[in-house]
C-alpha cells in the first residue's frame, strides 16, 4: 500500500542545513506533495541555490517569505500555505532557521541576547502558534492513531550546546552565551509545545544535527551537510509518540539535558 503524500515546511531553507534538507527531501521522501521552502528573501542572491531547485521542481517546491523575527511574515506564510494544502493540512514543520552570536559571558549584551532569543526561541514558538490549525488538519486527515512525521509533527532544530549537563566541559570550547541560552529556551518551549500538541496527535521533537560544516558550524565541523541531513531524515522517519518532547542527535541518540 502506498503512503499518503506528505507536505513539509522548512524555515531557513536557502542555505546550510535547510537547503540540504530541501534537496534530500526531494530525493528520498516519497510521496511528497508540497515542500514549502521558507527564507527571509526568496528573490535575493542568498537564495540562488534554492531558486534553481524551485525552478526544477515547480509543482513541489514553493518558496515562501518567512522571517522568524517578524510575526506578520509568519502569519502571511500560514495563509499562503493554508490556501495550497487545503483540507489535507500541513504534515511537517522543521524549525531550522537560527542565528549564532559569538559572545562570551562578560561581552554578551542585552541586544545580542534579544536577537538570539527572538530568532531561535520566540520564532519557532510563533511558527507553531500560527500553523497550529494546519497541523491539526493534517493530524485529523491522516485518520490513524499514533504520532509520526508523516502524520503531523514539529521538529525544532536545537543543539548539543543547549545542554546544561555538558556546559561545564564545553563552554570554553564554544563561548556563545546568547546562542546557548536561546537554544536552551527553545528546548523548554518545545517540551511545553509537545504537551499541548500531544492532545491533537501532533508530535514535537528536537534534533541536534551534529557539528556540521556550514556558515554557522565553520570549516572545522566534524561532518558535512549531507551526512547530517541524511541522519536527521532517518531519525525523523523513525519517530513515534515515544519521542514527544525528546532531544535526539542526528544518529537518534538521546542528548542529555
Ligand X SMILES: NC(=O)c1ccc[n+]([C@@H]2O[C@H](COP(=O)([O-])OP(=O)(O)OC[C@H]3O[C@@H](n4cnc5c(N)ncnc54)[C@H](OP(=O)(O)O)[C@@H]3O)[C@@H](O)[C@H]2O)c1
Cα–Cα dist 148/166, whole Å: 29
CB of 230 to ligand X, least distance (A): 15
Residue 5 CB, shortest distance to ligand X, in Å, is 26
Among 6, 9, 17, 35, binds ligand X (CB under 6 A): 17
Choose between 66 and 137: whose C-beta lies nearer to ligand X: 66
Is 157 a binding residue for ligand X by CB under 6 A? The answer is yes
The grid cell for 29 is 521522501
Instruction: Report, in Å, the least distance between residue 187 CB and ligand X.
Output: 12
Tell which residue, 57, 68, 4, 60, has the closest CA to residue 31. Answer: 4
Whether residue 201 contacts residue 106, with contact meaning beta carbons closer than 8 Å, is answered with no
> Please, what is the minimum distance in Å from the beta carbon of residue 40 to ligand X?
4
60 to each of 111, 178, 211, how far by Cα in Å?
39, 36, 30
Binding to ligand X (CB under 6 A): which residues in 212-251?
212, 214-217, 221
Select from 7, 15, 60, 201 the one that contacts ligand X (CB under 6 A): 15
Write down the H helix ranges in 8-163.
Answer: 16-28, 48-56, 71-85, 110-117, 123-142
Q: Where on the chain is the footprint of ligand X (CB under 6 A)? A: 11-12, 14-18, 39-40, 46, 67-69, 96-99, 119, 157, 159, 208-209, 211-212, 214-217, 221
Amino acid at each position: 500500500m502506498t503512503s499518503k503524500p506528505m507536505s513539509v515546511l522548512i524555515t531557513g531553507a536557502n542555505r546550510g542545513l535547510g537547503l540540504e534538507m530541501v534537496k534530500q527531501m526531494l530525493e528520498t521522501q516519497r510521496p511528497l506533495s508540497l515542500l514549502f521552502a521558507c527564507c527571509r528573501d526568496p528573490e535575493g542572491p542568498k537564495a540562488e541555490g534554492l531558486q534553481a531547485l524551485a525552478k526544477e521542481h515547480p509543482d513541489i517546491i514553493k518558496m515562501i517569505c518567512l522571517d522568524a523575527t517578524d510575526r506578520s511574515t509568519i502569519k502571511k506564510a500560514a495563509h499562503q500555505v493554508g490556501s495550497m494544502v487545503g483540507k489535507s493540512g500541513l504534515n511537517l514543520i522543521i524549525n531550522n532557521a537560527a542565528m549564532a552570536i559569538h559572545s562570551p559571558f562578560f561581552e554578551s549584551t542585552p541586544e545580542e541576547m534579544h536577537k538570539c532569543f527572538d530568532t531561535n526561541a520566540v520564532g519557532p514558538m510563533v511558527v507553531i502558534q500560527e500553523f497550529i490549525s494546519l497541523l491539526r488538519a493534517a493530524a485529523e486527515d491522516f485518520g490513524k492513531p499514533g504520532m509520526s512525521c508523516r502524520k503531523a509533527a514539529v521538529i525544532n532544530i536545537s543543539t548539543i550546546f543547549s545542554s546544561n549537563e555538558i556546559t561545564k566541559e564545553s563552554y570554553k570550547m564554544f563561548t556563545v552565551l546568547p546562542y546557548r541560552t536561546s537554544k536552551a529556551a527553545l528546548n523548554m518551549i518545545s517540551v511545553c509545545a509537545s504537551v499541548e500538541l500531544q492532545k491533537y496527535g501532533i508530535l514535537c521533537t528536537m534534533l541536534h544535527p551534529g557539528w556540521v560544516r556550514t556558515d554557522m558550524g565553520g570549516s572545522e565541523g566534524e561532518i558535512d551537510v549531507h551526512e547530517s541531513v541524511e541522519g536527521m531524515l532517518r531519525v525523523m522517519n523513525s519517530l513515534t509518540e515515544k519521542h514527544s518532547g525528546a532531544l535526539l542527535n542526528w544518529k537518534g541518540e538521546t542528548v542529555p539535558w
